[in-house]
Amino acid sequence: MGRVQGKKVFITGGAQGLGACFGRMLADEGARVALTDINQAGAAETAAAINKTHDNAAIAIKHDVTNKADWESALATTAEAFGGIDVLINNAGIGTAGSIESETYENWRRTQEIDVDSIFIGTQLAMPYLKQEKSASIINISSVAGLIADGMMLSYNAAKAAVWMMSKSIALHCARSGYDIRCNSVHPVFTRTPIIDPLIQMGGGGDEGEKRLVQQIPWKRLAEPEDVGYAILYLASDESRYITAAEFKIDGGITAQ
Ligand SMILES: NC(=O)c1ccc[n+]([C@@H]2O[C@H](COP(=O)([O-])OP(=O)(O)OC[C@H]3O[C@@H](n4cnc5c(N)ncnc54)[C@H](O)[C@@H]3O)[C@@H](O)[C@H]2O)c1
């Protein structure tokens, strides 16, 4: 038996990077995973790769997380395919750079829309599905940027801090309502996925750009997607059955400084 045997998991932003890694690791441990993404071709490719080793474990769904109708149909398709949904991973997100002086209002709004509003819309719509399950889990991907600030990350800092507190509010509501639904946030440091390419470029590109990021991390290396994936595996599984309203820092020590 796998650690998440029989779990029915909905993952946003599942085409690449962290979401794709979570899908692979969860399927390896017995879950069925719906990989949703605005990038349909990418999600389909990732699902096909998973299905090569795990028969029918993955489905791919085109889904823009800012679109309510997309959420409704993606959740319904998943529940129909798997017989319900008991794990929701709000992972889709964008990273943006800009200070209080350089950031545009349009960029600020877009960041809040994709990184924050989507979690409100989607989690609210997913609640009726999660309430039908035993031991359901909502996992929201925030960032160390939700806990510590940078002068050039105005919109992203604000968005990821909102995800952190939203997760606690959702967790408390579920616990006090007697729902068997836990909700936690996950806060990775710089992790080797396409989202950090612009940061590496800003630091001079290549090894030099990566070194600039690594210098900030006490553990002295970037996180790999699997480093975050192990926390997801735990939070999706019943091993974390008493864990709710918590924040999981996968940060090589950066927030302790
Ligand atoms: N990689 C890191 O260093 C890092 C660190 C902390 C937090 N995070 C967070 O982890 C999450 C995943 O990021 P990643 O590193 O895998 O980045 P990524 O850019 O590799 O993947 C993000 C995925 O989200 C999808 N996406 C973007 N906008 C979307 C939308 N409107 N609707 C649906 N899908 C959309 C993209 O198509 C992509 O597949 C994000 O929320 C990010 O903020 C990443």
How much distance in Å is there from the Cα of 194 to the middle of ligand 1?
Answer: 8
| Ligand 1 atom 19, closest CA | 195
Residue 33: half-sphere exposure toward Cβ, Cα within 13 Å = 35
Once rounded to an integer, what is the mean pLDDT over residues 11-39? 98
Per-residue pLDDT tens over the stretch 75-132: 999 999 999 999 999 999 999 999 999 999 999 999 999 999 999 999 999 999 999 9
pTM of the full structure: 0.98
Give the per-residue pLDDT at 66.
Answer: 98
Mean pLDDT of the chain, nearest integer: 98
Bridging pattern class, strands 87-90 and 247-250? unpaired
Please check whether residue 150 lies inside any domain of the structure: yes
Q: Give a yes or no: residue 204 inside a domain.
A: no
Note whether residue 155 is domain-resident: yes
Task: Count the domains in the chain.
Answer: 1
> What pLDDT score does 191 carry?
98
How do residues 119-163 score in pLDDT, each as one tens digit?
A: 999 999 999 999 999 999 999 999 999 999 999 999 999 999 999
CA of 76 to the centre of ligand 1 (A): 23
Nearest to 4 by CA among 126, 110, 87, 124: 87
Does 202 map to a domain?
A: no
**119 within domain boundaries:** yes
**In terms of Cα–Cα distance, which of 257, 249, 245 is closest to 183?**
245
Residue 125 maps to a domain:
yes
Q: What is the CATH number of the domain that holds 168?
A: 3.40.50.720
In angstroms, what is the span from residue 17 Cα to ligand 1's centroid? 7
DSSP assignments along 88-116, one per residue? EEE-------B-TTT--HHHHHHHHIIII
Residue 210: predicted pLDDT: 96
User: Structure tokens of 42?
Assistant: 């990418």
Please check whether residue 1 lies inside any domain of the structure.
Answer: no
pLDDT, tens digit, 9 for 90 and up, residues 199-249: 999 899 999 999 999 999 999 999 999 999 999 999 999 999 999 999 999
> What pLDDT is recorded for position 109?
98
Per the annotation, the verdict on 129 as an active-site residue is no
Q: Is 92 in the pocket of ligand 1 (CB under 6 A)?
A: yes
* Residue 89: domain span: 8-194+225-251
